[in-house]
Structure 1
């Protein structure tokens, strides 16, 4: 059967199962490093649904809705239908399952497949990735015990908005286009707004280009002229098709583009506060009318405060992100201080290791203790003007084992059977380490 759509024909094709790639940037889990990690995440979060779906595929001997895919080189990335595709792949090759138990499960299911197992799958192929996202945005409305499509939860919807810039209640591109027009900096060709919204879908990325969008309010947060110049460059790159959708498809590629602009010196500098000229009278302060004090908000029960730290969660930071969110939203510090102390220790070391790997620090050895690695990373951050001398001293002070609030204390929380965990000490550690950990994650 031929299926015709606006501007497209023959959008359904039979593709080799081996050519389909389970999407590492599936919005169900956020960006991961590869297909194997994506399959692992699907089973880590939805194993019962995955098993139900596999049994249903075997019972019917078919899938009822073709996966939605887009080409990537000589393969096809699955945009929608990753659970179905994963089950088919593991039925085809049970040894790819992550545990012996799952390998046996898929091998037993495969024996019951009616007739010959298919080596090709009918897929809906879309070359326009914006079109793919438009389709995704209109789907996901029923669970049906795991056999039907699973409804996206708030985290999944947020992943989609962060990746694409669609459906988030914002239109950053409109505001940028208006500001560029007022400054007479619009490029000659039309700016692809969807691509601009995608590029600037995360607050941390917008901040690097000098703008902020919070609670519906749009601000320029760096030197205004330099910000407009940088936005003109981005708009021109997109309008001229120097940068296309393929170049800013996921967080890694967005960061690579913005990092390249930083290397070129395109990104704006932080605006300096204007100084009052000599002789200018200082206006008398206004005396406010007394107003009742607002009620104090409830104390946040978790280690990491409920504020945005501006971390851009790339695919290689998926585990770091999961630990961060447990510390920020799930683990009650008062009730689970031991668990919090262990996870803080893990987050710190993983973050330091991320910085060492991304910045290729050769003076950090595999056998270095955590405190020594932290000191070497802090020295590198100071040399790169990322932290000042005062904060470097604070990190160095944490290396001193005799201090109560020190990295030695954190190690003893993890390894000593006789050391009592203190929530107050953990809060003080976080207050000191927060900026350091964020810089390590943003390496």
Structure 2
């Protein structure tokens, strides 16, 4: 551990703070703190001015010529805004910080002492032990269940079984462990911190139990390659720090044919007595019963910082806006989500579109690309094609009316049917 004096200008508020997950940049992280914790932030700023100091060293890590704050983001943010109130997100907050700055006696600090740690594993160990209580905003705010889940999803740390321990045991039994260097288990836990990443390498840790989702031999071969890359330091913690880094590494392994593929998938045995043959499936959607547009289940999505707004809209539609109470808001946000999801896929997959293509045309071109890639089937493509037909319930015309028509009121049933018809495509676009 090293304690160093670091200028405020060299400190970066963490865009990937576990309080909120990955955001686009420092400005977005500061805005989130005031959107979600404004009174706490005000209380903390007042306390800093009254005491003329902060009582704990911010925990920082060097990155290029700056230092990213891993603990103490609220304290550093208050100091940055006291130093320059114009950085506050609203005129009201700017006035508040100008007033607080006027109360500062003596010289305002241009630098502060920080605890500098270059080892990010050590940083996570410190964070894991440090967060205990908020003291009404003056101390560190307690992590709620979702923030803890974000931390676990990013790092793989939890009170349950360690996926790295489970993998190490199986690789050792198969005599596939790297022979020369120790497997860095904390880095492996970080890589496989969420089910979507674990499923790509052929395993699952649902309900805290290790299971193979793909052929054991193919999966162990993939895990052996990953273990070798980590043990040899070809891939290090910095490569796997965020969602984009994890996906980039797994995508590279996939392109090399390392990861198990569809042919290796283990069939899930049927439960209960045999059932009668089902009727031939159709593209007609049967809406599920729920209180929000997006059912409260796991869609296997991970959220990199570049999809910050997509994530926020998704959570509003999945957890906050009730269909019966907010159908107009839900209808507008559904259209926005579809547009943003399509643009994400178009950009990621380099789908050729014309700048004048409207929503329905863009959806069709994305659908054709997904169909050619085998990601959707012909029945799903039929639904996509019908999106251009104005007489259909699931259509661009319906969405336009929801937004622009004073006489066309959205209903929860229609909105549910639209989501159920397009959900698979929307999710695929967000995963791109």
**TM-score normalised by length of structure 2:** 0.91
8 Å contact kept, 2:215–2:266:
no
3-state SS of paired residue (2:62) = strand
- CA distance in structure 2 between the aligned counterparts of 1:441 and 1:410, rounded to whole angstroms: 20
SS in structure 1 at match of 2:205:
strand
1:3 corresponds to which residue? Answer: none
Per-residue deviation, residues 278-319 of structure 1 (Å, max 9, x unmatched) = xxxxxxx9799xxxxxxxxx9532221122110111111122
Deviation at 1:168, TM superposition (A): 4.7
CA–CA distance in structure 2, aligned partners of residues 426 and 325 of structure 1: 16
- CA shift, 1:257, in A, is 1.1
Question: Given that residues 386 and 394 in structure 2 are in contact (C-alpha distance below 8 angstroms), is that contact kept between their aligned partners in structure 1?
Answer: no
Residue aligning to 2:145: 154
By how many angstroms is 1:246 displaced?
Answer: 1.2
1:28 deviates by 0.7
Q: CA deviation at 1:358?
A: 2.3
Cα distance in 2 for residues equivalent to 1:316 and 1:168: 30
CA contact (8 A) 1:162 1:202 kept: yes
Verify the 8 A CA contact 1:52 1:147 in the aligned structure 2: yes
Distance in 1, matches of 2:266 and 2:243, equals 35
Query: Is it true that 1:198 corresponds to 2:198 in the alignment?
Result: no
Task: List aligned pairs for 1:208-247, cutoff 5 A.
Answer: 208-247=200-239
| 1:129 paired to 2:132 | no
Q: Distance in 2 between matches of 1:374 and 1:340?
A: 20
Residue 244 of structure 2: aligned partner: 252
- TM-score, normalization by structure 1: 0.89
**Matched position secondary structure for 1:215:** helix
C-alpha separation between the residues in 1 aligned to 2:30 and 2:40? 13
Distance 1:339 1:274 in 2: 42
- Tell me by how many angstroms 1:18 deviates: 0.9
Compared CA separation, residues 274 and 155, structure 1 to 2 (3 A)? closer
The Cα shift of 1:85 comes to 0.3
Q: Which runs of 4+ in 1 moved over 6 A?
A: 285-288
Cα pair 2:367 2:384 within 8 Å, conserved = yes
Deviation at 1:68, TM superposition (A): 0.7
Q: Which moved more, 1:428-437 or 1:108-117?
A: 108-117
User: 1:371 matched to which residue of 2?
Assistant: 360
Cα deviation for residue 384 of structure 1 reads 2.6
**What is the Cα deviation at residue 363 of structure 1?**
1.8
Match of 2:314 among 315, 319, 324: 324
Alignment correspondent of 2:18: 27
Q: Is the 8 A contact 1:221 1:271 kept in 2?
A: no
The equivalent of 2:424 in structure 1 is: 435
Asked if 1:307 corresponds to 2:302, the answer is no
Aligned residues: 415
Give me the whole-angstrom Cα distance separating, in 2, the residues matched to 1:255 and 1:48: 37
Q: Is the 8 A contact 1:364 1:376 kept in 2?
A: no
The gaps in structure 1 that reach 5 residues or longer are 1-7, 276-284, 289-297
Correspondence list, 1:285-364, <5 A: 300-364=290-354
Segment drifting more, 30-39 vs 333-342: 333-342
Deviations 1:102-136 (A, max 9, x none): 22222222222111111111001111111111111
Aligned partner of 1:180 in structure 2 is 171
Indicate yes or no: 2:84 matched with 1:93: yes
- Per-residue Cα deviation, 1:21-51 (whole angstroms, up to 9, x for no partner): 1001101111112111111111111112112
